[in-house]
Structure 1
Amino acid sequence: MSLGDENGYGSGSGRTDDGYSTIGGTRQTRTRLPDGEDGDGYTTPRRPARSSRSLVTVVGVVVLLIAAIAFANMGGGGPDGSGGSGNGGSKPDSSSTAATGTKPVTGKNGSIPSGFAHDEQGAQSAATNYSVALGSADMFDKSSRRAIVTAVYAPAVAAARQGDLDKVYSGQDFLTSIGLNADGTAPSGLTFISRSNPAGTKIVKFNGDTASVAVWYSALFGLAGEGSKNPVSESWFTNTFDLAWIDGDWKITDFTQKDGPTPVGRDQAASPAEEMANAVEEFGGFTYAR
Structure 2
Amino acid sequence: MSLGDDTGQTRTRMPEQGGDPYGGARRGGRSSSRSLVTVVGVVVLLIAAIAFANRGGDDSAAEEGGSDNSPKSAATSPSGKKPVSSKASGIPSGFAHDRQGAESAAANYAVVLISADILKPARRTEIVQQVFVADKQASLENRFDQAYTKDFLSDLGLDENGNATADSPYISRTMPVGTKVTSYSDTAAAVEVWCTGVFGTAGEKTTNPVTSDWFTMSFQLRWADDDWKIDGFSQKDGPSPVPGDEKASTAEEMAKAVQEYGGFTYAR
Which residue of the partner structure matches residue 156 of structure 1? 135
Which residue of the partner structure matches residue 178 of structure 1? 156
Which residue of the partner structure matches residue 115 of structure 1? 94
Q: How many residues align?
A: 198
Which residue of the partner structure matches residue 283 of structure 1? 261
Question: Of residues 272, 287, 290 in structure 1, which corresponds to 2:250?
Answer: 272
Contact 2:76 2:180 in 1 (8 A): no
SS at 1:186 equivalent:
coil
Which residue of the partner structure matches residue 191 of structure 2? 213
CA-atom RMSD in angstroms: 1.9
Contact 2:81 2:267 in 1 (8 A): no
Which residue of the partner structure matches residue 132 of structure 1? 111
User: Which ranges of structure 2 fall in alignment gaps of 5 or more residues?
Assistant: 1-28, 30-71
Which residue of the partner structure matches residue 81 of structure 2? 102
What letter corresponds to residue 110 of structure 1 in structure 2?
Answer: S
Q: Provide the C-alpha distance between the structure 1 equivalents of 2:258 and 2:230, rounded to a whole number of angstroms.
A: 27
Greater relative contact order, per chain length (Cα 8 Å cut-off, separation 6+): 2
Alpha-carbon shift at residue 254 of structure 1 (Å) = 0.3
What letter corresponds to residue 236 of structure 1 in structure 2?
Answer: W
Aligned residues: percent identity? 49
Return the TM-score normalized by structure 1: 0.65
Sort the Cα spacing of 1:260 and 1:98 in 2 relative to 1 into closer, same or farther, 3 A.
closer
Pairs within 5 Å for 1:253-264: 253-264=231-242
Contact 1:179 1:229 in 2 (8 A): no
Q: Provide the C-alpha distance between the structure 2 equivalents of 1:111 and 1:271, rounded to a whole number of angstroms.
A: 30
Return the TM-score normalized by structure 2: 0.70
What letter corresponds to residue 213 of structure 2 in structure 1?
Answer: S
Alpha-carbon shift at residue 177 of structure 1 (Å) = 2.8
Flag as ranges the 4+ runs of structure 1 deviating above 6 A: none
Contact 1:179 1:230 in 2 (8 A): no
SS at 2:140 equivalent:
helix
Do residues 187 (structure 1) and 187 (structure 2) align? no
User: Which ranges of structure 1 fall in alignment gaps of 5 or more residues?
Assistant: 1-72, 74-92
Q: Provide the C-alpha distance between the structure 1 equivalents of 2:165 and 2:263, rounded to a whole number of angstroms.
A: 23
Alpha-carbon shift at residue 112 of structure 1 (Å) = 0.7
SS at 1:96 equivalent:
coil
Q: Provide the C-alpha distance between the structure 2 equivalents of 1:134 and 1:202, rounded to a whole number of angstroms.
A: 18
